[in-house]
Copies of this chain bind each other. A is one copy, B any other.
């Protein structure tokens, strides 16, 4: 009892002493003094609170420079522990709250020997523009008698009739999957007039249209949307049509202005007026929308990478990119060649095998495979699981803890996890490799999460189909495709793979491809590559960026934003993007610190 108390006291004292010096340095505008509170190897990650950017600065020098440039405008202050700090293995950790000139934030601090190793500062709300929730939730009924008042329904109907016609939205979100929806919901709560458009008819159709056995590969605790959590009876890995229904419901009850069956045809920025001119086609009708801000939430996958092999014109069967594959039902008994060996390839092979197709997978390069359950239990469970919830780690806290781990060292934290996974699933990997499958753990052994962040590909989260390859039920071929003949795919080594259907599970380009398609190649090039950390590994060339390129933060093209990622990212980062858009709507100054350089255009 005494020991625990004294440790708690020590942790509290350490945090309180550090915060006192830190607040004093900030108040005095003394960047040097503040920087001196950080370890030599240390990281301050700021999400829109000081920098109006998503930025990680490193070491005292990085901290100093960032503060020199932001202190005067942001005026960060009043950092305080929001719950009792903890201490373990010499690391003191504390939840923080703080203020800036224009907003309120939350943070997370890790101290070692009295100096900061990591600090996360994340803006939560803008003063004067707080969301109406909890004690500030809207009243609903306007009690009293108000002749001529509009009911909620009449008000909604009027808004629906006007927005995009007689009244222009502040923000247009192109793409109404989970990303566009989560951001749309936050902007709605922040009272930023927004339209979300999607080419599919109904919210969720993005999921409904995919192959029929698809379930989320991430577990439920990681997948919540903002505002409304999945209920306790929600499946761990939700089937695609169930997620689709949820998204549809969510759009309705969160009152999004969601235009289904609407395509964005082209867009250009009117510099003078400071608005976009976006040509959209809604249910066949041509319209021009004039939003101030344009968000591309068309999927982190980007434009499909569709190879064009010689002989496609003579091939007698069907050729599809994985994004076009309708599911297995029409291909029972047929010979299918799937080019590629990552997530889509495995999912499609598994579903085709289930209906009795004769399936061959063409592996062109090595792939990392992680078993879904192993990944969930070893990788996510400490933060996202029923046990985490029971231990008080809400989704909101888990998101912040995850965000507090600097990208720069994330791979170091992942490597031991790979070792555990390798050990736990030793038989599985031995069987796969015995079957000739080329398996890797990433360039530095850091496994799946880093592949996801660096290149958004090169892996498969195994939900069963890997066994088919290990058992030879799905045949395996190796090498590059050379050409197609009337009835076969021919590899560079001359191997001939008879095929009625060829599926190119060959992945997707960078998201700025969407900007090229919608706006212009020039604008896409100005934005540069989207996603990836600059880790100088395959498909993620250096230099080091510190954050995911161009995601959820200002790009080199004013008023153009990129949003997307998995459900966790859609949920968490939509807040910071929404706050950036809100600030611009109401004219809060948003001086951006550390606007990224463009090093690569795709």
Contact = CB atoms under 8 A, between A and B. Distances in A.
A420 to B, nearest CB: 20
Nearest to A356: B147
A338 to B, nearest CB: 15
A140 B233 CA distance: 10
A373 B144 CA distance: 12
B245 A252 contact: yes
A548 interface: no
Contacts of A245: 252-253
A457 to B, nearest CB: 21
Contacts of A462: 143
Best-buried of A144, A149, A462 by chain B (most CB within 10 Å): A144
A234 interface: yes
A236 B145 contact: no
A250 B372 CA distance: 30
Contacts of A220: 137, 140
A467 B227 CA distance: 37
A215 interface: yes
B233 A231 contact: no
A231 B227 contact: yes
A4 interface: no
A439 B460 CA distance: 71
A220 B350 CA distance: 46
B373 A239 contact: no
Interface in A435-478: 462-465, 467-468, 473
A287 interface: no
Contacts of A253: 231, 242, 245-246, 249
A141 interface: yes
Contacts of A490: none
Given A153-B212, A355-B147, A386-B135, A463 B232 contact: no
- How many copies of this kind of chain does the complex include? 2
A392 interface: no
Interface string A382-415: 0000110000000000000000000000000000
Interface stretch (A126-134, A422-430, A504-512, A536-544): A126-134
A216 interface: yes
Given A135-B386, A252-B245, A140 B215 contact: yes
A236 B144 contact: no
Contact of A235 (B139, B144, B213): B139
Contacts of A235: 137-141
A231 B253 CA distance: 10
Contacts of A124: none
Nearest to A371: B143
A151 interface: yes
Contacts of A215: 140-141
A358 interface: no
Contacts of A151: 212-213, 239, 241
A562 to B, nearest CB: 26
B464 A143 contact: yes
A143 to B, nearest CB: 4
Interface in A243-301: 245-246, 248-250, 252-254
B146 A233 contact: no
Contacts of A228: 228, 231
Contact of A145 (B135, B143, B354): B354
Best-buried of A148, A153, A386 by chain B (most CB within 10 Å): A153
Nearest to A213: B151
Interface in A191-233: 212-213, 215-216, 220, 227-228, 231-233
A257 to B, nearest CB: 15
A353 interface: yes
Contact of A137 (B144, B234, B239): B234
Contacts of A132: 233
A464 B144 contact: yes
A100 interface: no
A339 B189 CA distance: 42
A136 to B, nearest CB: 9
Best-buried of A135, A253, A387, A462 by chain B (most CB within 10 Å): A253
A463 B462 CA distance: 57
B145 A239 contact: no
A133 B233 contact: yes
The 3 closest A-B pairs by CB, nearest first: A140-B235, A141-B215, A152-B239
11 contacts: A133-B233, A137-B235, A140-B215, A140-B237, A141-B216, A141-B463, A143-B373, A151-B239, A151-B241, A152-B241, A153-B242
